[in-house]
Amino acid sequence: MSETAVAVRGLTKIFNVPFRRERIVAVRDLNLTVEAGQVYGLLGPNGSGKSTTLKVILGLVSATRGSTEIFGRRSNEVASRNAVGFLPENPYFYKYLTGAETLRFYGKLCGLGGMRLKTGVGELLELVGLTSAANRRLAGYSKGMLQRIGLAQALVQDPKLLVLDEPTAGVDPAGSREIRDLLLNLKGRGITILLSSHLLSQVQEVCDRVGILARGVLVREGPLEKLTAIENQIELVLENAPDALMERIATLVRDSGARIVERRMPQTTLEKLFLEATREERQD
C-alpha cells in the first residue's frame, strides 16, 4: 500500500476583508490526496484557490475549517516542512547573494552544514544546470535561471515532496522546457510533486493525476488519462499510408457501422517548432 504524501480533508479557507463586512471564500470543502511518488497537478483559473491551497498545505496560512497533512504530520507542525521543498510563484531571492550562497543559506535553514552542504550545493547546481553561474549574483540571473535556482533551493534538503506554484510562470518556452525536463527527472527519482499551473499542455506531460479547481471548489479530480480520454473514440496514426489503404480503411469503418470523426495530418506543437527554430538560430 502506498504512503500518503499529502492529505487535505474538508479544507475551507475564508479571508475576512479588513474594515469591511466582506468575506472571501478562497477554498470550499476541499478533499484531496496525493500518494507518494505521484505527480499531482492542481489546475484552475486565477483566483480559483490553487495558491491558497498550497499555502495551507505548507502551513503558511491557517485553515478556517478542515485539516491538511504532509506524510502524516499536520501542516501547522514546523517539523512537517522537513520533508517538503517549495517554489512559490515568481519568487525573488536575495539579489545580493550568488547562486551558491543562496543554496548554502537554504541548506543551513534545513540544518545542513560542513562538507555535506558544500558537496550538495555543487550537485544541485549541476542538476539545475547552473554550475557556470554559481558565483554570479542573482541580480544578474534571467527569469529562467531564477526559477531553476528556486527549484534547487526547494530540493536542498532532499525532500520527499516538492510543492511548486506556477513553476514556469513568466519563463520563455526554452526555459519552460528545461524546467519540465527537470520535473520529469525528479519524477523518475520517485519524488512526489504537487504543482499548480495554467499551462495545461505541460501539466499533461508530467502529471499522473490532476484536480481542477473553480471558485474554490474541486470540480474534477482523477488520473490524467482517465479524465482526458474520450472513451468511445480511438486514435490511429499511420506513416506512409497509400491512398488505396486509406480507402480500404474507410470502407471497413463504414461497413462496421463506425464513423471516422476526423482525418488530418498530425501537427507538431508550437513549442516544438519554437525550440527547433531557436536551436537552429543558435547553431548558425
Partner 1 sequence: MSVSQHGQMSDEKKDSVYRAFSPRRIGAITAITFTGLIRQKAFYVVLIFALILIGNSIFMARLSFQREFQMLKDISLGAISIFTSLLAIVATARLLSQDIEDRTIYTILAKPVPRFEYLTGKLAGVLLLLALSTLVMSAMFLAVLFLREQTLLNETLQQMAGAPREQIAEISRTLRGSAFNSNLVPGIAVIYLKACLLAALTLFVSTFASSNLFTIVVMTFVYFIGHLQATAREYWLQTSSGGWMTNTFLAFVAFFFPDLQLFNLVDDIVVGTAIPLALFNKTVLLGGSYTAIYLLLACAVFYGKEL
Residues lying near partner 1 in the complex (CB under 8 A): 15, 36-37, 55, 58-62, 71, 78-79, 81-94, 96-97, 105-113, 116-117, 119-120, 123-124, 127, 150, 153-158, 160, 163, 186, 189-191
Strands (E), the chain: 4-16, 23-35, 39-43, 65-70, 73-74, 84-87, 161-165, 192-197, 209-214, 217-223
| CA 33 to chain CA mean position, Å | 16
Between 150 and 216, whose beta carbon lies closer to partner 1?
150
**In angstroms, what is the minimal distance from the CB of 242 to partner 1?**
48
Cell numbers at 280, concatenated: 537552429
**In angstroms, what is the minimal distance from the CB of 99 to partner 1?**
14
Between 99 and 120, whose beta carbon lies closer to partner 1?
120
**In angstroms, what is the minimal distance from the CB of 214 to partner 1?**
23
- What is the greatest pairwise CA distance in the chain? 74
Between 192 and 212, whose beta carbon lies closer to partner 1?
192
Between 51 and 176, whose beta carbon lies closer to partner 1?
51
Between 115 and 236, whose beta carbon lies closer to partner 1?
115
Q: Is the dihedral of CA 127, 132, 138, 140 positive or negative?
A: negative
Whole-angstrom distance, CA of residue 79 vs CA of residue 74: 9
**In angstroms, what is the minimal distance from the CB of 189 to partner 1?**
4
Strand order in the sheet with 192-197: 84-87, 161-165, 192-197, 39-43, 209-214, 217-223
**In angstroms, what is the minimal distance from the CB of 120 to partner 1?**
3
